[in-house]
Every structure is written in C-alpha cells, then in structure tokens.
Amino acid sequence: MSAQTTGHENQTHSLEIPNDPAHIATARLFASAIGRHFGADEEAVEDLRLGVSEAVTCAVQQGDPTKSIRIDVVPGADTLGVEVAWRDGSDVVANEHDDVPAGGGQSGAPVLAEGVPAMGLDLIRGLFEDARIGPRSDGMRAVGFSISLSERSG
C-alpha cells in the first residue's frame, strides 16, 4: 500500500491499496481526510466516503486480485475530483462468501453478498451528477465523480 501527494497542495493525492476488502476502509479514511482538509462539509464528506467505498468495492469484485487499486483525489478550484481505477481480472472474481459470482450479475454488473444485483454503481450515479464508469484509454477500468466544495461549504 502506498500514498503519494505531489508537492503542490492543489495537485493529485493518490493511494494504492491491495485488491482486498480489508483495505476498503483505508480508502474511505484517505478520501474523507482529504475532503475535510479541503473544507468539504460533513454531508459532502459522507458522500465522498460512500462513493469511494462503492467504487473500491466494485474494483475489488471485478479487478485482478494480484493488481493494486488506485485512488486519485484531484483538488480543483471549487471541486474535488475522485477516480478509482483498477485492472480487470482475467477470471470472474467471486466474493469468498458469495453464492453468486461477484462479477457475474446481469450485464456483468457486480453482485452483492446475497445475490442481489449491486446497488453500488447506481448509488454513485445517483449521488454524483458527473459519475463516469467505464474503461480508460490505458486499459484500466475506472469510476470517477466529483463533489462541489463551494456550494456545500457555502
């Protein structure tokens, strides 16, 4: 696991975690700490925490278990942009306790522990107007979204 922050405060803050559910909480802590640092109010921090948790959970379920998951938080003038990126697994990766493959839902959507189609990505789409979910040009898959600091900080 590694964290990286560039010299200038308004540059990207990055965290790499192993593809392991035990590290999802670390990603939430990382994102919420940066959100508070940049003045996000508690509701915005809660959205950030939930969005990162859902995105990293998706990455854990769909990603290559041998490859790390990267979380980038990019401060803007009045926004915080977030991107969670991962390498797809070559095989379907099942949650170790699931009856249903984690990556084997309808249309490839991740599946929750009880076999319920994942609400996670729908939650992200609902919470963040600019949610972006899909492949990147470098072959990684990513979930991205941003929170507005100015509106929320009032």
Site residues (vs other proteins, CB under 8 A): 21-22, 24-25, 28, 46, 49-50, 53-54, 57, 60-61, 95-97, 112-116, 118-120, 123, 126-127
Residue 11 burial (CB count, 10 A): 12
- Please state the separation of Cα 27 from the chain's center in Å: 8
Closest CA to 141 of 58, 66, 80: 58
How do beta strands 2-5 and 132-135 pair? unpaired
In terms of CB distance, is 106 or 137 closer to other proteins? 106
Residues 41 and 58 sit within 8 Å (Cβ to Cβ): no
Question: For other proteins, which is the closer residue by CB, 99 or 151?
Answer: 99
| CB-nearer residue toward other proteins: 9 or 116 | 116
C-beta atoms surrounding 140 within 10 Å: 18
Distance of CA 86 to the CA centre of its chain: 10
* CB of 118 vs other proteins, minimal distance in Å: 6
User: Smallest gap, in angstroms, from Cβ of residue 137 to other proteins?
Assistant: 28
Which residue number, 4 or 113, has a Cβ lying nearer to other proteins? 113
Give the span between the Cα atoms of 71 and 80, in whole angstroms: 13
Least gap, CB of 54 to other proteins (angstroms): 6
**Least distance in Å: CB of 53 to other proteins?**
4
Least distance from other proteins to the Cβ atom of residue 7, Å: 30
How far apart, in whole angstroms, are the C-alpha atoms of residue 64 and residue 2? 18
